[in-house]
Amino acid sequence: MNYETLLIEKKKGYAVIRLNRPHEMNAFSMQMRLELDSSFAELENDNEVNSIVLTGGEYVFSAGMDIKEMSALPDSEIDQYFATIMNYLKRIYVYPKTVIAAVGGIALGGGFNLVTVCDLVIASESAIFCHPELKFGLNPLVHPLSQIVGMNKAREIVMLGEPIGANEAMRLGIVNKVFPPEKFMSEAERIAETLASRSPKAVAELKRMCNVIPQLDKEVGLDMEANVGVRLFARDERKLHMNEILFLEKLRKKKQK
């Protein structure tokens, strides 16, 4: 896969997508937005890739939308402009494979939006998250953020536009784990490799449940989980995995004798 604004590397069961507009602090141009959508679509159909690490590198995740491009945008192209934003965000938000954001440095505006639609967020101690859009008369993406921190806190974050450090972001639930700058990428890749070894079908079902269940009442939510359990249990893959576990347990007992 050859892209001008992304670097993509396939590894053992997972892929690393790196935003690659370093001179523009990985700001999202039209081309980058289209390439993000295209790369995720291509990897979704790649059976050798079961999880994805999305990063901007050690020093910056993304400064958000390309301001130069936005300022020159004619009114006739506004609808298409925002459609390209929603296309890749929606694709990642409901993606069937696990997506891990590895955040080093700043994640502002659209960069922060991208973080909130990923499944897990691994951050460098240097990471900073901020929604400054209101200062420019624009609106940030509230829905995914509110699903993470609750509407009251989301309202504060998007209205005040104050920067949030990595450890505070972890306390709020925006970030899952924080590591020193020299370790956060390797840890993100370690997690990606672990998740890549899981059943793709089970991962996809679990992700769907995580997205849907918060909108359901308690009884309907439990019924949905039971139905998913039935579908996953009645598969040859389940027998294979359980036989492997039983085999390993037998080996362990033999060694103990």
For position 219, what pLDDT does the model report?
77
Residue 10: pLDDT band (50, 70, 90) is: very high
Q: How far is CA 99 from the centre of its chain?
A: 4
* 125: exposed, middle or buried (Cβ count in 10 Å: 0-12, 13-18, 19+): middle
Contacts (Cβ under 8 Å, ≥6 apart) of 128: 105, 106, 107, 163, 164, 165, 166
For position 230, what pLDDT does the model report?
73
Cα first-last separation, the chain: 52
> Over the chain, what is the mean pLDDT?
89
- Range in 48-57, 116-125, 189-198, 223-232 the model is least confident about: 223-232
Alpha helices in 52-176 (DSSP H): 67-71, 78-93, 110-116, 143-149, 151-160, 166-172
pLDDT one-digit tens code per residue, 124-181: 999 999 999 998 888 889 999 999 999 999 999 999 999 999 999 999 999 999 999 9
Is pLDDT larger for residue 230 or for residue 167?
167
Residue 238: pLDDT band (50, 70, 90) is: low
Domains of the chain: 6-196 (3.90.226.10), 200-256 (no CATH)
Q: Mean pLDDT, to the nearest integer, of 56-84? A: 91
**Residue 64 φ/ψ region, left for φ over 0, alpha for ψ in the -120 to 50 degree band, beta for the rest:** left
State the CB neighbour count (10 A cutoff) for residue 70: 16
| Angle of CA points 4, 180, 158, to nearest 5° | 70
For position 203, what pLDDT does the model report?
85
| pTM as predicted | 0.85
Residue 227 has pLDDT above 60, yes or no: yes
* 10 three-class SS: strand
